[in-house]
Amino acid sequence: MKITLASSSIYRQQILQKLQLQFNCLSPKIDETAIEGESVEQQVLRLAIHKAKAVSQKQTDSYVIGSDQLACFNDQPLGKPGNFERAKQQLLMVNGKSIQFYTGLCLVHKNNQQQVSLVDVYEVKFRKLTEKQITTNLTLEQPYDCAGSFKCEGLGITLFESLSGRDPNSLIGLPLIGLIDLFNKLDIDIFEHMQS
């Protein structure tokens, strides 16, 4: 079974490696501009499907995994901060509050004309932190390419009061529980394809 991850994200690659499946990666190179009036849930699902379909045009005999994620605070998307100052502003804004992560996930096989998809939602509640604690975290971790300004697999865990959702992998952008569900919907037992 051929599997292609429609992503250039090293974080998504590392998550998918947990399943011990052989896969290759191909960047989808699509326009990710939001559509006016589209909800966050609709946007992540549309982009996940678009990414998977774009790559499936080149990998027609492969199961292609597309994923897209947005972090939201008060129904407003939180982008990747890009630098220390923006990351600090983000963390001060959500200090002691909750944000939601919406992850769209799609599995496509062009030759077999198969497509299944879902949206996974995960909530993070932040501790009430001092400005010094936030600065220390950002200086040590430098999570400037991460939505929400943290890496939950690293020091980000020190920022949280609680986590709520189905799959903590969702925070990194690839919900594996949901992905296994999508393979199951296509009658594929991934255990038969795992490698040691």
Task: Identify the pLDDT of residue 75.
Answer: 84
* Mean pLDDT, residues 126-153: 93
The whole model's pTM is what? 0.90
Write down the pLDDT at residue 166: 95
Is the model's pLDDT at 196 over the cut of 80?
no
pLDDT bin (cut points 50, 70, 90) of residue 65 is: very high
Task: Please name the residues in contact with 140: beta carbons below 8 A apart, sequence gap of 6 or more.
Answer: 155
- DSSP 3-state assignment of 31? coil
19-37: pLDDT as tens digits: 999 999 999 999 998 899 9
Assigned CATH topology for domain 3-193: Maf protein (3.90.950)
Report the relative pairing of strands 76-78 and 3-5 from DSSP bridges. unpaired
Radius of gyration of the chain, Cα coordinates, nearest whole angstrom: 17
pLDDT reading at 154 higher than 90: no
Q: Which of 158, 147, 175 shows the shortest CA–CA distance to 77?
A: 147
pLDDT band at 185 (very low <50, low <70, confident <90, very high): very high
Chain mean pLDDT for the chain: 94
Residue 160, pLDDT score:
95
Q: Which candidate in 31, 61, 68, 145 is catalytic?
A: 68
The yes-or-no verdict on residue 59 having pLDDT over 90 is yes
Catalytic residue flag (residue 68): yes
Answer whether 99's CB lies under 8 Å from 148's CB.
yes
* pLDDT for position 129: 96
In the structure, what pLDDT confidence band is assigned to residue 14 with cuts at 50, 70 and 90? Answer: very high
**For residues 107-127, average pLDDT:** 96
Residue 132 phi, psi (nearest 5)? -65, -40
pLDDT score of 100: 96
Give the pLDDT band (50/70/90) at residue 69.
very high
H runs (alpha helix) in 57-150: 84-94, 131-141
Check: CB of residue 18 under 8 Å from CB of residue 168.
no
